[in-house]
Amino acid sequence: MSTLHHHSRPGIRTLTAGSLSLGLLVLTACGGGAVAEDEETSADADYGSIDVPLSWLHTAEFVGLYEAIDNGYYEENGFESVNLIPGGPSATPSTVQVASGAGLVGWSNPLVVASTIEAEGDDAPLKIIGSVFQDIPYTVVTMSENPATEPEDLVGMSVGVPPANEPVFNAFLAANDLEGEVEVASIQADTQPFLNGEIDAYFGFATNELISIEMAGYDVESMMFVDHGLPFSGGSLVATEEDIEENREELKAFLEASIRGWQDALADPEEAARTTVEDHAADQNLDYDHQLRTAETQAELITSEWTRENGLFTMSDDAVADTLAAVEAVGYDVPEDLFDLSLLEEIYEENPDLIEHPLP
């Protein structure tokens, strides 16, 4: 039976913001605290309607945002509506949409953010302003009768990897000194070749394919990247430098409401699964039990001792360094200031009671 392990990073309990590099992390304190008198507060703000492009189709992965809509938190913070725009195989990446002004904030992951910045240059002045997932749920799944519980167990095995994920899987192999030792079988995001025994292992998500395989009755092992040499964050909330500077209070209003939504989702996974299946992803014909398992599993990747002390979406200096190292290992030039967590720092300084949240 597979087990989801939660990666623990030691480190100073401080938020990392401002200028960052792999060699030296410069911590920039954010002053002020209270909102200045000439700035709108959420009580009198009127931000109208905004679009938030997502990285994938509607599933429980985004359920904290659903809860923020359902429970009126965005409306309370000055938004007429928050429209969650689903992604998918043929959709324009959320990072490109945000960079072009089609969304105030988008949901992505650090590799896609770095890829967009590298491809678009000055046309994509993007920053990660928060990370919903402390650890990204990448995993390698094997059958229990032929298990891989450590990276070296993959030697001589064939692993099915969708083409878009081959760079990150190759970085995982390199991190474990396994280049050339593992056969990478290029497949679509389909577990059937693995279930049929055509390949020995499958690269996927612990919050999606792993659950589907287990629910189908297979006895499998799961080897999480985060526990085996390539830890990094996921669920990146992305905005442009211009919006961070010029629409700072609007972004903070969105983040604060989203945090409250995720607190509700973590507190009640059954409701999280219900609103996903019945309301926000009703056209996806999703299975309630699967989405419930997703909500319960991802809670371990969203929360940690770090978030207990510092709040959801925040990142430690070690988490930022791990993520930048992973981006570089995959092959992208690492922007020195990929992260700007100063908005979250201000939010929690102004609302310290917001830090507390349910833990699984």
Q: Which tens digits make up the pLDDT trace of 188-242? A: 889 999 999 999 999 999 999 999 999 999 999 999 999 999 999 999 999 999 9
What pLDDT is attached to residue 359?
87
What is the pTM assigned to this prediction? 0.88
Secondary structure of residue 204 in the 3-state scheme: strand
What pLDDT is attached to residue 360?
84
Give CA–CA dist 180/170, Å, rounded.
Answer: 10
Give CA–CA dist 71/122, Å, rounded.
Answer: 38
Q: CB of 168 within 8 A of CB of 138?
A: yes
Task: Quickly list DSSP for 294-310.
Answer: HHHHHHHHH--HHHHHH
Give CA–CA dist 60/123, Å, rounded.
Answer: 32
What pLDDT is attached to residue 35?
38
Stretches in the chain below the pLDDT threshold 70: 1-43
What pLDDT is attached to residue 196?
97
What pLDDT is attached to residue 43?
60
What pLDDT is attached to residue 32?
35
Secondary structure of residue 228 in the 3-state scheme: coil
What pLDDT is attached to residue 336?
79
Match 């002045």 to its residue by tokens: 125
